[in-house]
Amino acid sequence: MTVKKFNLPDVGEGLTEAEVVAWKVKPGDTVAINDVLCEIETAKSLVELPSPFAGTVTELLVEEGITVEVGTAIIAVSEGQDGDAQAAPDAPAPAAVAEETFTPLYGKLTAEAGEQPAGGPLVGSGPKADAVKRRARKRPAGAVVEAAGVAENAEGTVQDNQAVLAAKAAEAPVSQRPTPARAVVEPLQQAPAAPAAQPSAQQPAATRGAAFGGTISGLVNKVLAKPPVRKFARDLGIDLADVVATGQRGEVTREDLVSYQAQRDAELDQADTFWGASRKPQEQRVERVPVKGVRKATAKAMVESAFSAPHVSIFVDVDASRTMEFVKRLKVSRDFDGIKVSPLLILAKAVIWAAARNPSVNATWVEDADGKGGAEIQIKHFMNLGIAAATPRGLMVPNIKDAQDLSLKELALALNELATKARAGKTQPAEMQGGTLTITNIGALGIDTGTPIINPGEVAIIAFGTIKQKPWVLDGEVIPRWITTLGGSFDHRVVDGDLSARFMADVAAILEEPALLLD
């Protein structure tokens, strides 16, 4: 019988330590090659470690929650007859005689060599159990809609509104009292407080024309949605302007409302239990969250970037109406059937196109490149396009390798795969290395723009704000258009004001006229 000790490997190039998050086996368990032994959290992501050999687990050498250095033995597995294996924990001396250690070179595998074997993934990854549970709340049993189209999200909502209506009806003349059929629907439609600008948008045409402010308010508040969806939003008390639209024509769908309501319910559930009881000492009402893993690495990288690279930021408002029309056509195209398409796809293509015209934004500043204190700028003739993704474990920036070689359809597939893996916590360390330029899509959170911090090793990052219908002057007339704001941060050592302005102008040009991509 031989007892082999499994050393913590470097699952990503250059990693020095990892935390053992959860063991998937216990002493006495029989494991086969590629069976998952444990989950570890590195500075990059959450990773499942597979067993490199078969046998019986004799000892777990590291407890859960402990951070150890790469190369440290974390588990002992015995190879031999079952009877010998069972006796192994009680006979440490013989096991020590035939003890071996094993450290797989996971971080050294190339993309070709790292393909998954038939028996299962060589190096897999997955989210923690709590992350999965949180994600599952996106589609709750939530809003129940009756045949009359009335949503009842909490007990007593309909009864309360009926009481309000009854009180109003008693005060009104008999001829003006509502019929019983309207007793349920009207209060629910009137319950949400309307935005201040809403009345002006619903006034007669003559009245609206008399007040320019009313016209502007009507243009700003116009959101595309079908009548049943608008009624559903009123029943739920949701302002359509707050919802991110995913419909084929840029309209808010019923699914968008259900998802928005689920997120709102989750926030309320957490808020109800957030505040600690005032009778407890303040010290007992402080939650301490250890900074480790992904968040620790992100914090360190952001501080280094903010204080080593002199940031300069510029912003530009863009009429993205033609991009919205282009996305709409792609969604109904046979070639893109079953592929999720969003304006982010066009922005990604625009960034690749603009970087080719302004190569210095796709570069790296390298200190002491010659070993004598000198520095150099390394311009990359390839685009590993990073997409910042917020996950339950913190901010991650996986990148699409050689994005410049991908067609529009291939880029759409790559973006979908990247987002799916990031949300599920399955992003591999290698997928977050070697980025050359990053996009952060803050518009998905309803934010107009921001000043992002450059990802370490890069010299530029683009923030993509939300796309909203706003009043826009076109040919001397004020009309509603789909407007977004781009924010860009640049390393001023490499990208000066003129270059950053030209790059942002080129990106904006594509969003305003996607047909330029055909040149």
Burial 54-83 (b: 16+ CB within 10 A, else e): ebbbbbbbbeeeebbebebbbbbbbbeeee
Instruction: Mark whether 381 is an active-site residue.
Output: no
Which residue among 222, 426, 470, 492 is the active-site one?
492
pTM score of the predicted model: 0.52
Distance CA 95, CA 73 (A): 15
Give every CB contact of residue 285 below 8 A, 6+ residues apart in sequence. 276, 277
Provide the residue count of the chain. Answer: 519
Cβ-contact 363, 457 below 8 angstroms: no
227-236 helix and 254-272 helix, angle to the nearest 10 degrees: 10
Cβ–Cβ < 8 Å for 438, 456:
no
Digit-by-digit pLDDT tens for the chain (519 residues) are 688 888 888 776 566 788 888 888 989 889 888 888 888 877 666 778 888 888 899 889 888 888 888 888 888 888 765 444 344 444 444 444 455 665 554 444 333 333 433 333 333 333 333 433 434 444 444 443 333 333 334 344 444 444 444 554 455 444 444 444 443 334 334 444 444 444 444 444 444 444 444 444 444 446 788 888 888 888 888 888 778 777 777 788 888 888 788 777 766 666 567 677 777 787 777 777 777 766 677 677 777 777 778 888 999 999 999 999 999 999 999 999 889 899 999 999 999 999 999 999 999 988 877 777 778 889 999 999 999 887 766 678 899 999 999 999 999 999 999 988 887 777 887 888 889 999 999 888 888 998 888 988 899 999 999 999 999 998 899 999 999 999 999 999 899 889 999 999 999 999 999 988 876
